[in-house]
Amino acid sequence: MKVCVVGTGYVGLVTGACLAHVGHQVICVDNNEAKVALMQSGQSPIYEPGLTEIMQAAMQTDRLHFTTDLAAGVDHGDVIFIAVGTPPLPTGESDTRYVEAVARGIGQHLTTGYKVIVNKSTVPIGSGDWVRRIVLDAVAERQEKVTAEFDVVSNPEFLREGSAVYDTFNPDRIVLGGNNPKAIDRMAALYAPIVTRVFAENSKLSPVPVVRTDLSSAEMIKYAANAFLATKISFINEVANICDRVGADVTQVAQGIGLDSRIGSKFLQAGIGWGGSCFPKDVAALIHTANDYGYKAELLEAAVSANQRQRVLAIEKLQQVLGILKGKTIGLLGLTFKPDTDDMRDTPALDLIVHLSRLGAKVKAFDPMYVENSHGFQSVPEQVILTTSPEQLAENCDAIVLVTDWQQFRQLDYAQLAVRMNSAIAIDGRNYLDPESMTEAGFFYIGIGRPSAGNSFAAMRSTQISVAV
Question: Which one of residues 166, 191, 267, 377 is an interface residue with ligand UDX (CB under 6 A)?
Answer: 267
7 binds ligand UDX (CB under 6 A): yes
Q: Which of 265, 268, 228 lies closest to 250 in space, CA to CA? A: 268
| Complete DSSP assignment for 118-166 | EE-S---TTHHHHHHHHHHHHHHHT-S----EEEEEE----PPTTSHHH
275 binds ligand UDX (CB under 6 A): yes
Question: Which one of residues 4, 5, 12, 128 is an interface residue with ligand UDX (CB under 6 A)?
Answer: 12
158 binds ligand UDX (CB under 6 A): yes
Measured from the CB of residue 377, what is the shortest distance to ligand UDX in angstroms? Answer: 16
444 binds ligand UDX (CB under 6 A): no
Measured from the CB of residue 70, what is the shortest distance to ligand UDX in angstroms? Answer: 8
Q: Which of these is catalytic: 18, 28, 278, 397?
A: 278
279 binds ligand UDX (CB under 6 A): yes
> String of b and e for 398-415 (b: at least 16 CB within 10 Å)?
bbbbbbbbbeebeebebe
Question: Is the CB of residue 365 less than 8 Å from the CB of residue 393?
Answer: yes
Give the Cα separation of 387 and 330 in Å (integer): 13
Count Cβ atoms within 10 A of the Cβ of residue 202 and give its class: 0-12 exposed, 13-18 middle, 19 or more buried.
Answer: exposed
Measured from the CB of residue 229, what is the shortest distance to ligand UDX in angstroms? Answer: 6
Q: Which of 274, 260, 210, 248 lies closest to 429 in space, CA to CA? A: 274
187 binds ligand UDX (CB under 6 A): no
Is 18 a catalytic site residue? no
Judged by CB, which is closer to ligand UDX: 83, or 325? 83
Question: Which one of residues 47, 66, 81, 98 is an interface residue with ligand UDX (CB under 6 A)?
Answer: 98
Question: Is the CB of residue 151 less than 8 Å from the CB of residue 180?
Answer: yes
161 binds ligand UDX (CB under 6 A): yes
274 binds ligand UDX (CB under 6 A): yes
Largest Cα–Cα separation, the chain:
79
CA 417-420-422 angle, to 5 degrees, is: 115
Give the Cα separation of 28 and 5 in Å (integer): 5
Question: Which one of residues 15, 25, 86, 329 is an interface residue with ligand UDX (CB under 6 A)?
Answer: 86
| Cα separations in angstroms, 408 against 99, 329, 368, 390 | 38, 23, 9, 10
- In this chain, which residue has its C-beta nearest to ligand UDX? 9
Measured from the CB of residue 13, what is the shortest distance to ligand UDX in angstroms? Answer: 8
102 binds ligand UDX (CB under 6 A): yes
Sites for ligand UDX among residues 326-345 (CB under 6 A): 337-338
Question: Is the CB of residue 243 less than 8 Å from the CB of residue 249?
Answer: yes
8 binds ligand UDX (CB under 6 A): yes
Measured from the CB of residue 230, what is the shortest distance to ligand UDX in angstroms? Answer: 7
Measured from the CB of residue 422, what is the shortest distance to ligand UDX in angstroms? Answer: 28
269 binds ligand UDX (CB under 6 A): yes
Measured from the CB of residue 292, what is the shortest distance to ligand UDX in angstroms? Answer: 19
What is the side-by-side strand order in the sheet with 444-446? 385-386, 362-366, 329-333, 399-402, 425-428, 444-446
Region binding ligand UDX by CB under 6 A among candidate stretches 17-25, 31-39, 171-179, 457-465: 31-39
271 binds ligand UDX (CB under 6 A): yes
- For residue 330, the cross-strand partners are 363, 399
| Cα separations in angstroms, 19 against 169, 176, 413 | 10, 16, 42
How many binding residues for ligand UDX (CB under 6 A)?
39
Judged by CB, which is closer to ligand UDX: 182, or 410? 410
169 binds ligand UDX (CB under 6 A): no
Question: Is the CB of residue 87 less than 8 Å from the CB of residue 121?
Answer: no
Measured from the CB of residue 257, what is the shortest distance to ligand UDX in angstroms? Answer: 13
Q: Which residues bind ligand UDX (CB under 6 A)?
A: 6-12, 30-32, 35, 83-86, 98, 101-102, 121-122, 158-161, 226, 229, 233, 267-269, 271, 274-279, 337-338
Query: What amino acid positions are annotated as catalytic residues?
Result: 278
